[in-house]
Amino acid sequence: MFKGSIVAIVTPFKNGAVDVEALRQLVELQIENGTNGIIPCGTTGEASTLDYDEHMLVVKTVVEQVNKRVAVIAGTGSNSTDEAIDLTRKAKEAGVDGCLLVTPYYNKPTQEGLYRHYKAVAEAVAIPQLLYNVPGRTGVNLLPETVARLAPITNIVAIKEATGSLQQASEVLALCGDQIDVLSGDDFITYPMMACGAKGVISVLANIMPKTVSDLTNAFFAGDLEKARQLHLHTLKIGNAMFIESNPIPVKTALGLMGKCSDELRLPLCPISDTNKSKLAAIMKEYSLI
C-alpha cells in the first residue's frame, strides 16, 4: 500500500511556535523531488514535544498542502492505548491516508501487551496502520513473532522496522510473507532491506536529499540494482551524519544551514555542539548541499 521514499518530515519552529509556512514549503520540496509519502509528527517531527493542538495543526497542515498528491501517514502513537486511539481517530478525521504507531514507550509492555495494544487501535479506527518498532528509542522490541500475530488483523498493513538489524527485518519478512509490508526505518539499511523484500524507507535523510532517496528506491523497483547500490553507498556518509547527535538535531541543523527552515528545537533537545556542527557542515559541503 505504501511504497518507495517516505519522508519523516521535521516540524519547523519559529519563536517557539510551529512555523506553518515553513512546513508548507518543506512539503512542496518533498513533492517536487519525487517523495512518495510524508509522515508528520513522527520522531523526526518532534511529536513528543508537541501539545495536542499543535500535533493536529501539523497533521492538518500537511494534509491540506499535500492535497492528495502523495500519501500522508500521521504519527499517532502513544504509550497510552486510549490516547493512541484518540489521536488515530482525529488523524483519520483530518484526512490522512494512514497512521504510524510507535510501540508504547516507558511502560515496557510484554509482547502480549504489545499485541493487545495494536489490536485495540486497529479495531477502534478503520484506517491503514503501520507498526513502528524502534527499540533504541522506546525500550521495547516488537519481536517478529508478535508482528506475525498482528499481520492478519484488518487495518494493520505495514511495519516501520527500525532496529537497524537486517536479521530481524528478514525474520519479519520470512514470517509474515505478503500479509504485511515492511519499510526500512533506517536509511543506512534501506538497500539491503529492499533486497530482502522491503517496500521502501521511512527516511530522515530525505529531509535534505529527497531526490537522491527517491532515485534510490525508484532505481531498485525499476530493476536497476547497480544504480540503487551506488546510491546506497553514496549516501552512507551523509546518512550517518544525520545521527552525529540525537535525531532530529542534525537534520534540523542541516535544513537550517540550507536555508530551508529554522534549526530551532524544543527542550530537552538542544542545539548541536559547535564541534559537531562543523563536522556536519563539512560533510554537507562534500555533497554540495551548502
Which residues are marked as active site?
A: 132, 160
Instruction: Note whether 72 and 107 are within 8 A (CB).
Output: no
Q: How far is 210 from 187, CA to CA, in rounded Å? A: 12
Instruction: Note whether 212 and 187 are within 8 A (CB).
Output: no
Instruction: Note whether 37 and 70 are within 8 A (CB).
Output: yes
Backbone angles phi, psi at 36, to 5 degrees: -90, -20
Q: How far is 158 from 260, CA to CA, in rounded Å? A: 31
* CA 251, chain centre distance (Å): 13
Q: In sequence order, what are the beta bridge partners of 160?
A: 132, 183
DSSP 173-194: HHHHGGGSEEEESSGGGHHHHH
Q: How far is 23 from 63, CA to CA, in rounded Å? A: 11
